[in-house]
Copies of this chain bind each other. A is one copy, B any other.
């Protein structure tokens, strides 16, 4: 079923921005790429067919959620995450670390891992670098992530330094476990391990973290610990250095981002991959992204509006449904409203990434980025 290769090639650069191709056993991904999030075995509210039609290339699954329910062994029994989700294209799984630190109860951290209570049933669960690898081997994603420690925003330099040291040590343990497993999933497909840079907003710790990871010669590198409340400027300051800190021939993945303005700033600084719940979460809450600003579709001003969310958009929702109908579906609490606006937003993010790739190839990204941000952050619901 799958080509057993993994590779990354930069095809165009424009200043620090790169457009390339990520090859995985489940197909190729044009970068910069945005990965919709399928937390618990489903990108909420959309079928894989709708997801593909909306332009998604690669999706993310959450190890934390899947290990707790239905369990990694059960996912493997059901044929792995690709089979379970009916998604035969690339998948990335995170390591579970971030959710342990944000969702789980009664966390205890030690040198070898983290013990926590499941937020689902209160049971005690332990996650180690080795078990994070084994779980992701069972899930079977194309790209797997090291276990890391992600301190909250506003953590002191001393504590972030400790998290950086621990994350580097865990990266090495993850690499050893991944190599021992033959770099293969339980389904027999090649898996690529990415390390995760930590270091908060401290430039020295970011540099140290990157250097320690790069020494492990991993297939890709993620930038973790951002989009945790530090703000756009602080994020940009950290990203300013990644082009020199991380090797140019490996994909760079900014975890949990996000906002179109952040994506544009990160691409300009050399990031290749993104993931965020924004298109689906905001879609479920009736907020639709457009190049000319966001629509809050519960707003009464759209009640009689016969036009689509965006007249320029070719998504299924815009080809078939008016703003007035979508508003009605949300007011009537019909499931179809969240599904349709999620489809629209997923399509918007796919279009945004496609426009970014074209602009990098054309050398026009810097100029267009500013225009796009100016358009996208208008308030379309103003006056209500």
- State whether B336 touches A47 (Cβ < 8 A): yes
A79 to B320, CA, bound (A): 12
Interface: A97 (CB within 8 A): no
CB distance from A277 to the nearest CB of B (A): 14
Query: In the assembled complex, which residues on chain B have CB atoms less than 8 Å from the CB atom of A327?
Result: 70
| Chain A 295-308 per-residue mask, 1 if CB under 8 angstroms from chain B, else 0 | 00000000110100
Q: Which of A42, A83, A336 has the most CB of B within 10 A?
A: A336
- How many copies, total? 2
Query: In the assembled complex, which residues on chain B have CB atoms less than 8 Å from the CB atom of A86?
Result: 320-321, 325
Top 4 A-B residue pairs of the complex, sorted by shortest distance between their CB atoms: A86-B320, A42-B336, A40-B332, A42-B334
Contact of A329 among B42, B329, B335 (CB under 8 A): B42
Interface: A220 (CB within 8 A): no
Interface: A346 (CB within 8 A): no
Contact of A74 among B42, B321, B324, B336 (CB under 8 A): B324
15 A-B pairs with CB atoms under 8 Å apart are: A40-B328, A40-B332, A41-B325, A42-B334, A42-B335, A42-B336, A47-B336, A47-B340, A69-B331, A70-B332, A74-B303, A78-B322, A78-B324, A85-B325, A86-B321
A48 to B329, CA, bound (A): 14
Query: In the assembled complex, which residues on chain B have CB atoms less than 8 Å from the CB atom of A83?
Result: 322
- State whether A46 touches B84 (Cβ < 8 A): no
Given the interface pairs A74-B304, A306-B79, the reply to whether A44 lies near B334 with Cβ below 8 Å is: yes
Q: Which of A44, A46, A83, A321 has the most CB of B within 10 A?
A: A321
Interface range, A side: 35 or more
Chain A, range 71-109, C-beta contacts under 8 Å to B:
74, 77-79, 83-86
Interface: A316 (CB within 8 A): yes
Query: In the assembled complex, which residues on chain B have CB atoms less than 8 Å from the CB atom of A70?
Result: 303, 324, 327-328, 331-332
| Chain A contacts to B: CB under 8 angstroms | 40-42, 44-50, 65, 69-70, 74, 77-79, 83-86, 303-304, 306, 316, 320-322, 324-325, 327-329, 331-332, 334-336, 338-340
Contact of A77 among B42, B85, B306, B340 (CB under 8 A): B306
- The residue in chain B whose Cβ has the minimal distance to the Cβ of A68 is B332
A44 to B44, CA, bound (A): 16
CB distance from A321 to the nearest CB of B (A): 6
Query: In the assembled complex, which residues on chain B have CB atoms less than 8 Å from the CB atom of A316?
Result: 47, 49
A140 to B249, CA, bound (A): 60
Query: In the assembled complex, which residues on chain B have CB atoms less than 8 Å from the CB atom of A303?
Result: 70, 74
CB distance from A320 to the nearest CB of B (A): 4
A338 to B339, CA, bound (A): 12
CB distance from A30 to the nearest CB of B (A): 25
- The residue in chain B whose Cβ has the minimal distance to the Cβ of A317 is B47
CB distance from A339 to the nearest CB of B (A): 7
- State whether A45 touches B321 (Cβ < 8 A): no
A182 to B10, CA, bound (A): 67
A67 to B101, CA, bound (A): 49
- State whether A336 touches B44 (Cβ < 8 A): yes
CB distance from A359 to the nearest CB of B (A): 32
- The residue in chain B whose Cβ has the minimal distance to the Cβ of A45 is B335
Knowing that A40-B334, A44-B336, A70-B328 touch, tell me 11 more A-B residue pairs with CB under 8 angstroms: A41-B334, A42-B336, A47-B316, A48-B320, A69-B328, A70-B324, A78-B322, A78-B324, A84-B328, A86-B320, A335-B335
- State whether B340 touches A306 (Cβ < 8 A): no
- The residue in chain B whose Cβ has the minimal distance to the Cβ of A332 is B40
A74 to B310, CA, bound (A): 21
A41 to B320, CA, bound (A): 13
Query: In the assembled complex, which residues on chain B have CB atoms less than 8 Å from the CB atom of A324?
Result: 70, 74, 77-78, 84
